[in-house]
Amino acid sequence: MSEVKITETILRDAHQSLIATRMKTEEMLPIAKKLDQVGYYSLEVWGGATFDSCLRYLNEDPWERLRVLRKNFKNTKLQMLLRGQNLLGYKHYSDDVVEEFVKKSIKNGIDIIRVFDALNDTRNLKTAVNATKKAGGHAQTAISYTISPVHNIDYYVNLAIEMEEMGADSICIKDMSGILLPYTAEKLVKQIKDKVNVPIQIHSHFTSGIANQTYMKSIEAGANIIDTAISPFGMGTSQPATEPMVASLKDSSYDPRLDMDLLLEISEYFKDIREKYIREGLLNSRVLEVNAKTLKYQVPGGMLSNLVSQLKAQGSLDKFEEVLEEVPKVREDLGYPPLVTPMSQMVGTQAVFNIVLGERYKMIPKEVKNYVKGLYGKPTIPIKEDIKKIIIGDEEVFTGRPADLLEPELGNLKEDIKEYIEQDEDVLSYALFPQIALEYFKNRQAKKYKIDTNLVNEEFKTYPI
């Protein structure tokens, strides 16, 4: 037995889960020094939806956020979440884009890259894992945890073995829906630890109310690291709260030995931030409630809010329960994909269409068709022929690695925006989010021109306000 390490998610998944990733860099910096002194194993600060949100809503350059944070964290490893071949977007990117993105992420300050694939198709992890190791980073592969007739402990143990063989430096059990039960977690961690020799990290959400117990049984079974969120942004659809978890382990052989006085000071700081977002209407009390239905429908918190938004837009919020019941049916039809980005969006949208239109598969999103064609990877089990016929007719299904269909893209992307490039990373921003990145570049250029003509001090050009 040894002390458990803690990854703090306040600067990424915590605010992504509770306030739609709206926390600004300027709100992170005043508390950075104290966060850096706590003794965390790592701080998750980037990836997931932060990149999109910086460009789309906050008028920030996500690369500059990373660089600024790196300067302010001298003692703590910085971590990010990457969607494998999808990077931080919603489609597959060519290998040259993936390799360059990983290289630049590490160059700008990331130490640990957690890489997952929505289908647990390890072919979609390899390029990112290899690029991470080549650039000197720590490659953590993540198992997207879900429950189905075919997702059992043997399935996950074999997946962990495959991940270690492909070069994973550590493995995360990523329970995005908060459905990993405590005693199942105990068995799962024990059996994985028996077969692999790399550290095991547990990531869960408090959505269903069981994550604290799951963490404790995982720790007792040998898990090395857990993800927590400082309490003002903990629990609900976020991670278990940091301070209670640290206190629960105190004076045990698992004691993470973090500075509790500092944690309490940090908590006070984020209480004020939280109150601000409550006043602005971004923090809805519904995301703080325990939702036991998650255990039945396996719908992550973010997916729940998306379903509500879609139904509101259709004037069909009264059909919410019907849609929830349709989600597992669609998931079964599609070969039991885990409900994580981008599969959660696909399954959720299809369920909404099926119920609102009163006929199953009357309307099918392009992304669902591409998934059935094999363009996202391999389903857990083959999709039934009758469902395949309904969705794509007689079109052929691709069984190879989806990215093998893609030609190198970097050269063309660079040419597309050559008049806007101010840093190499701009090409990658454009690759992921062409429309919003281009809008950001135009605004940046206009702002820069205005600053130049007014002869404002040079230092203010480096950070978008």
Q: Can you state the percent helix, strand and coil of the chain, rounding each to 5?
A: 55, 10, 40
pLDDT at 463 over 70: no
- What is the per-residue pLDDT for 111? 98
Of 398, 335, 378, give the one whose Cα is nearest residue 122: 378
CA torsion angle 246 249 255 259 (round to 10): 30
Query: For residues 9 and 40, is the Cβ–Cβ distance under 8 A?
Result: no
pLDDT at 464 over 70: no
Q: Which letter, b or e, does each residue of 343-382 get, where b requires 16 or more Cβ atoms within 10 Å of its Cβ?
A: bbbbbbbbbbbbbbeeebeeebeebbebbbbbbbbbbbee
Give burial (CB, 10 Å; 0-12/13-18/19+) of 442: exposed
What is the distance between the terminal CA atoms of the chain, rounded to a whole angstrom? 47
Query: For residues 79 and 203, is the Cβ–Cβ distance under 8 A?
Result: no
- What is the per-residue pLDDT for 457? 42
pTM of the model: 0.93
Q: How far apart are CA 220 and CA 182, in angstroms?
A: 11
- What is the per-residue pLDDT for 107? 98
Could you tell me the CA-to-CA distances from 263 to 128, 181, 237, 267, 315 in Å, in that order?
Answer: 34, 28, 21, 6, 44
Of 329, 344, 326, 337, give the one whose Cα is nearest residue 381: 337
- What is the per-residue pLDDT for 454? 46
Q: State the helix-helix crossing angle for 343-356 and 301-313, rounded to 10 degrees.
A: 40
- What is the per-residue pLDDT for 465? 32
Give tens-digit pLDDT for 332-352.
Answer: 999 999 999 889 999 999 999
pLDDT at 437 over 70: yes
pLDDT at 447 over 90: no
Per DSSP, which regions of 162-257 are E strands?
170-175, 200-204, 225-228
